[in-house]
Structure formats: structure tokens, C-alpha cells
Chain A
Amino acid sequence: MLRFILGRLFSSLVVLWVLVTLSFFLMRFAPGGPFDADKKLPAAVEANKWMRFSMGVELTARVAGTISQRATVTEKVTELASGTTLAVITPESGPPQKITMPFDGQVVALKVNDGDKVEAGASIAVIPKPVFRQYLDSIGAYLTLDFGVTITSDGQRTVNEELMRALPISLTLGGFAMFFALLLGVPAGLIAGLRHNSWLDHSVMSASMVGISIPTMVSGPILISLFALGLGWFPAQKWEAATADWSTWQHRVLPVITLGLAYVPTIARLTRGGMLEVIRSDWIRTARAKGLTDGTIVRRHAMKGAILPLVSWLGPGMASIITGSVVVESLFGIPGLAENFVKPALNRDYPMVIGVVVVYAAILVLLNLVVDIVYTFLDPRVSLD
């Protein structure tokens, strides 16, 4: 068992590394960058940002002098080969300094014009660091789970800080929602399975069919207008994450129900299917033949087998309920993790994307591992060694 767990953890690390690498390069190859904005920044201002987030290389004047032979380039558009002359600085005396491209690529800013007088140490141009070098620079830190600062916060918050703030909120919401969904879904599924083709079965299945077709973006607003705006039982907005006591329970009710309801049909159907399969199996018939009561058969023998399909679904299911609450979080104004799955990618906030990918992958890997372990307890036929 221990060997199995260690083996899985090790292979998970490899998976994480591959994921980080893939997302790193995919993000860099997506068009545009983190500093492109509605009102375009002057090249020099943007160049300062590239330098600040260690994505750029600055070319400076070694000598004071006059600029000539400035290259004609469109910043961030023209592709230049390594060694291309960007400008030449001619000092009053001594040899001129040639400013050249250190590698293939574009320039973020070429700040001088022909005839400009520059002082020694002046910044002449800023070049984006080649992507592979950026990768080498940061992969070491990523492997120690240090993802750096988020670009959208202008370096004022680290990725880890943001994840640690948002993750507990989404975990609470997802955990409660899953608990609620199981509470409703498992009994419904068991009953439907046991009373196969009865009116109970049909009504549970029809209800779950309806439930599965109503997305949270529909059920949420309905619940809000009924119970928050209409009856006024619960607040319509906010989570009050900072207040961690029972005084804020009303804020939790509607989001948890909205999110949970979406999973009830799946759980009910899985449980029903499992029960149907088990209840017809030979060992249940044997139990019946031994003269056990229906109640005992279900509780002692059928239950365990019936929930096996559900258990294998719980791993990915739990991961998706924690991370898949985008709609619910935005409907109720909950400052959880969900937003971070979308916005950093759109904003090209590279470090944050990496952090989120790692968190999601880690949750998925861990939950699957837990499911595999639980399986061995539920099904004696499964062995991990």
C-alpha cells in the first residue's frame, strides 16, 4: 500500500512538471502579453514593466555620446535577427559603441532617435527575454512551489497568497455543496434502485432528468429572486468569508444549495445504477436464500457495492465541484478560486496561471489517490499491491 502511494505521488510530480511546462509555453505563445491594454502604454513605460517582472533585458549606453544609425523598427512587431544593430553611440573621443540585438526577437522599446545625446548608463532599448530563458529562470522556483507575484496585482501580492486566500472559500463552498448533494442524491438513488420501475423510481428519475437540464445559471437566479429578493429569508449576495463563525450561515445557504442541486441528479443516477447491478448479482441471491431480511441485505451487502460507481466518480466530481463553481461564485459575489480559472488566462497573468494549474492538478491527483485507497476498503477484489 505504502509503495503504491509513494509511486503514485512520484508519478504525480512528473505529471505536474509536464503540466507546468506545457502551460508555461502555451501561455507565452498565446497572442498579446500581460501589459497590452485598452489605451496602449508608451513603449518606454511598457518596457519598465517588462523589466520589473524580469521578462526583459535592458541594453544600456556604456559611453556618453550621440546616437546615429538607429534601426527602423516597429516596437513589438518587427522581428530582428541576433546581431542587428539597433543604434550606434559615438562619444566625443574614443571608439563608438554599437548597440546590437543579443538574440533573435523583437524590441519592446527602442528609446532613442538619431541625433539624441545620451549619458553613460542611459537605457537605450529593452528586449524581451527569450521564452526558453524565462522558463529556465523560473522553473526552479516553480518546483519549490514558489510561483512569484501576480502581474495583475502589480507585484503587490504573491500567487501563493492569492491561492491561500481563495482556496479555503472554494473548498468550503464545494465541501458543503457536495455534502448537500450526497445527502439528497444517495437516498434518492438507493430508493429508485430498490423500487425499480415503480412510481418512486420514475419520479426520482424524471426529477433528476429535469435537474440535470437546469444549469446553475438558471437555478441560481430563481433561488435568489424567490428566497432573497422575494421572501427575504437569505441575503442575496456575498459570502462573508472573513467572519468564520455561525453568524454568517445565512450567506452560505443559497450558494451551497444552488451548487449542490446541480450534482444531485448525477449522484442519484450513479447510485441507482450501482444498486440495480448489485441487487441482481449472485451473492445477493445467496444472501436472500440464506433467509436474510431485505433490510439487512441492503445495509450489510448491497450498499457497499452499490456506491462503488459513485465513489469512483467522487474524485473528479469533488475536484469539479471545488473548481467548477465559476457561475455560482460570480452569481453570489463569492471571492473564491473560480474566477482565477478564467481571468489570469485572459489577462496573460503568467505566474497566476501556473499557480492555478498546479492547484487544480494537485487537487485532482490527490482526490483520485484517495478514491483508489477507499476502493480497497469497499471492494475486496481490488488490491493496490
Chain B
Amino acid sequence: MIKKFTTKMRDPKERRLFYAIFGGKMLGLGLCFLVMLGVSAYFGSTALKAHADTGTATTATAPATAAAPAAPAPVPDPPYCSPINTMWVLVTAFLVFFMQAGFMFLEAGFARTRETINVLLEGIVDTCLCGILFYLWGFAWMFGHGNGFIGWGDSSGHTWYCLQNLGDTYESTGVATLAFFLFQFAFADTCSTITSGAMLGRTGFWGDLWYSIGVSGFIYPIFGHWAWGPDGWLNTIHPAAFHDFAGSTVVHTIGGFIALAGAIVLGPRIGRKFKRDGGGPMPYHDMTIAAVGGVILWFGWYGFNPGSTLSAMDIQGVARVAANTTLAACGGGLGALLFVYPRFKKWDCGATINGFLAGLVAITCPCYWVSPFGAIMIGLIAGVVVILGVDLLEYLRIDDPCGAWPVHGLCGIWGTWSLGLFATGQFGAPTPTGADNSAGAIVSGLFYGGGWNQFIAQVIGNAAIGGSVFIVSLVLMYAVKATGTLRVSKDGEIEGLDLHEHGGHAYPEHTAHQS
């Protein structure tokens, strides 16, 4: 590179161009510095003035925060209602819901034009179905008291089917139960949408409906109860309790493995040739919406992870989770980008999108308990793992158009395990009134002197849920296949699902670009 530069500089025209550009850059930098100086001088003077005025006030508050207790304030007598916690859960629920838009964009972008309407409508209908099913029995099964494997209602045995007999707030969270219901519906919706990413392009719409009912109505609430139910059996295993803060296992591993089962039972799209047979991935149709969709998912994750504190009062916890979420995404994006670059000397946009999403999936479990440094490491490793996962599916001749299994399934496993490695031993649990960092609640990982216990618990919990889900979803997919509705006919697939199932084109005016 230096040789190229010196030979170029021998040409006087090139030299002049270089001086002009370099001079321009220096001028630009100089202007930036001047602006920075000016702005800071202005604000500095007003801030200093304000500080001087309230000097006594600021010093007075400092001792109070320094003497903060290790245990949070006790929860007041029931019924405990926390407006701020409820608002927090509601707002974050709205963010998580917005991830549906991100999924729609991402999946449509990675699909071909001929199945775009199908991808979009599948996302919408899957959301609607999930809401109804979660209302009917999903919420009761997942978050009700019952036994270690399934729930049904409150601790006195009144059932919560059709959201009957709900208390004003959910357990001791202080959050209005219906707000908590909305928040958890948004999570269920995320899980069921993941599946469609691996199954697009060849799944008949009736098949879509049947497996959506299976996922949202049965698989997610039942297996999710094992980890997140008030009496879920994974909360009391040995050598340590299984922890999954926002769902690397419950949402992403479950979703990713159902996706894998679907892709396996369906088979690849017609015309799909794999790398080892001299082929490669099928082209996407719109990288713009795929990339923006990915970033919308990143934005929604700011509701997904921080909202899982269910408490706006654990301010350090909420902030730490949000920061860790961000850094893991950054690590994942760069990890994938740089890992793929040497292959073809190209900066691969699709791989980078999968990369930062993988980082986000991975941090979803450990986000409360790791440090920012740990978050970056977890994300970086996820960025590499996801690409290896894509390569593995290609090798196994499994057609996963969006990389749903590598991003959610595989990195869901990595994220769950990573808690057992990177948990710093400083943090316990969020409670409705603050953080509980007492000795009993602390989570500590291998790299911080916590030993193997937490890691073992993570492996057990993830394998129990992931393994069972994979087997059950294979059964589900084969059952739907037996009805003849899973895969669309050969002619229908070639002419495109949009025309075959939905009677239209995604871009009716642009026939030149159809594929």
C-alpha cells in the first residue's frame, strides 16, 4: 500500500490532488475543533454558574447515595402497586412489540420478491394468533402457579384461562397483571416469529397457521414455564439455579430449534444448491429493508433486555443491562464482519447483520450479571459462532434463508452458557424496589472465581429445554406435514407464494425486478 502511494505521488497531478484533499481534511478538523471549543465554552460557563449556585445542594445529596444499603427497601404490604414499574413494563413491551416490524423487514429482505407478501402476512397473522392463544391459555400455562412443568392459575387454584381471576398485579412485581401479560405476549410473539425465518419460501399458509398454533399455543408456554414460571423446575436445580434473564434459552433457543426442525422437515427450496455441491445461498431481494430491519430489532432489544428487570427502581440494573446489550451487539457485528472478510475480501453486509443480532441474542441471558467487558467478549464470540453456524447448515444441506438457527438457536445456547463463564459475582437480582445483591442472590461465573456450578446449571437448563423443544417440534412439523399443508406444491413454489397463496405481487409495477 505504501509503495502504491509513493509511486502515485511522483505524478504532479496526483500530488496536487493529495494536497488538496489533505488540506481540506485538516481544515475540516480545525473547524470541528473550533466548534467544539465554542460550544463547550458556552455551556461550560452556564453550567459552572449553575453549579456554583447549587453547590450546597449537590454536596448535601452525595452522602445519601454513598450510604445506599446492600438490600433494597422491603416490598410494602399487598396489594403492592407500582405505577413506575408498570409504566416501565408497558413502554418496554411496546418496544419489544416493535421488533415484529424488524422481523418483517429482515425476513422479507432476505427472501425473494416472489414470497415477500407471504413473509409479511405470516408475521402479522402469527402476531394476531399469538395474542389470542396467549390470552386463552398461554399466559396461564406459562406464568401461572401449577407444577414444575406447567401452570394454570393463582396459588389458590383459580385458573387464569381467558385472563380470568387475575390479581391486580403479577406476583410481587407491583406491575399491573395485564401490563405484564402484554410484555410477555410480546416475548411469545418474538419466539414464534423466529421460526418463520427458516421456513419461508416454501411453507403453505395453512401450514404456517398450524405450526404457529403449535408454537405460540403449546411449545413456548409449556417449555417456557420450566424456566420462568413461578414454580418452574429449573429454578430449583443443583448445583445452582438456572438463570435466563430475558430469554436466550426461553425465547431464542426455543425459537431457533423449532426453526431448525421446520427447515429439516420442509427440505430446501426448489433450485437450492449447497456450497459442497457447487452452489450457494439464494439471493436476497432487498438488502436495504433487511439491514434496517436488523437495526429495528436492535432498537427493540432495548425493551427486551432492560424491560426484563420488571422494575424501574433497580436503576443500576436497568442501566447495566442496556449498556451490556449495546456492547454485545457492537462486538457481534464487528466479530462477524472481520471473521468473514478474509474469505472473499468483501465486507459482507448480510453476515454483519446476522453478527450483531447474534450478539444481542447471546447477551439476552447474561445481561444483568456481566460487566461491559464481558458483554463485548460474549458478543464478539457470538459474531464468530453465528458464521460457523451458517457454514454448518450449508454443509448439512439445510436451507435456512435468514439464518434463524445460527442466530437464535446456536447463539442462544452460547449466550446461556456464557452466563456461567462471565457472571462477575457482583450482582444478584432485580426486585420491584431495587437491586438485591445479598449473598444468596449473587450469580458468579467461572472466570470470576465462581467455579463451574453456574455453568453446569446453564448447560442443564438449556439442554433440557432446547433438547425437548427440538424433539417436540420435529413431531409437530411431521404432524403438520402429514396433513399435507406444510409444504406448498412444486408449481406453487416456483410461481411464488405471493401469487399462489395471496393472489398478488409484492411489487406489481416492477416486473423487471421480479425473481
Bound pair (A, B) = no
Chain B interface residues toward A at CB < 8 A: none
Chain A interface residues toward B at CB < 8 A: none
